[in-house]
Amino acid sequence: MEIFIGCDHAGFTLKEALGEVLASFGTVHDLGTKSEGRVDYPDFSKRVCESVLGTPESFGILICGTGIGMSIAANRFRGIRAALCNDAGFCAHFARAHNNANILCLGGRLVTPDVAMESVRVFFTTSFEQGRHAGRVTKIETCAFGENA
């Protein structure tokens, strides 16, 4: 599995802390930022989203201070379903099982590395349930950009 990860300065420490656990789930591509110097989170969201969209079966992880900015930015990309999961795995489970999320967003200033690692573990070990959820996800893909307005 290919995993693309990106962060801003507020997510840098957590990104570094996740390195080893992430590597146990697949090949990790670190798309930056690579220091605590101030950057703009949409730039790194874009990098990760474009990589996920261009790589079949891949997933992304985006980390900023709260995870909010990264999730807002990522969900502007058609085909990206970015889920903000700042708890210890509950949201990550349903993000995959019900929403078929392909990007996990985390708040570097909100979650400890242990809590984030649990979300990562759950995210990568939970499958999309399909069934009634498949039609709902299709509605997101078509309605979110006004095509069915």
The catalytic residues are: 98
β-partners of residue 105 are 62, 84
In degrees rounded to 5, what are phi and psi of residue 19? -45, -55
The smaller minimum CB distance to ligand RB5, of residues 39 and 124, is found at 39
Smallest gap from Cβ 57 to ligand RB5, in A, equals 28
Yes or no: say if 62 and 121 are a contact pair by the CB < 8 Å rule.
no
Place of tokens 């498949």: 134
Q: Provide, rounded to whole angstroms, the least separation between the CB of residue 8 and ligand RB5.
A: 5
Is residue 118 near ligand RB5 by the rule CB under 6 A?
A: no
61 within 8 A of 4, measured Cβ to Cβ? yes
- 49-108 binders of ligand RB5 (CB under 6 A): 64-66, 68-69
| Number of other residues whose CB lies within 10 A of the CB of residue 24 | 10
- Residue 29 in 3-state DSSP? strand
Q: Binder to ligand RB5 among 10, 61, 83, 106 (CB under 6 A)?
A: 10
Q: How far is the CB of 59 from ligand RB5 (least distance, A)?
A: 21
Residues that bind ligand RB5 (CB under 6 A): 8, 10, 41, 64-66, 68-69
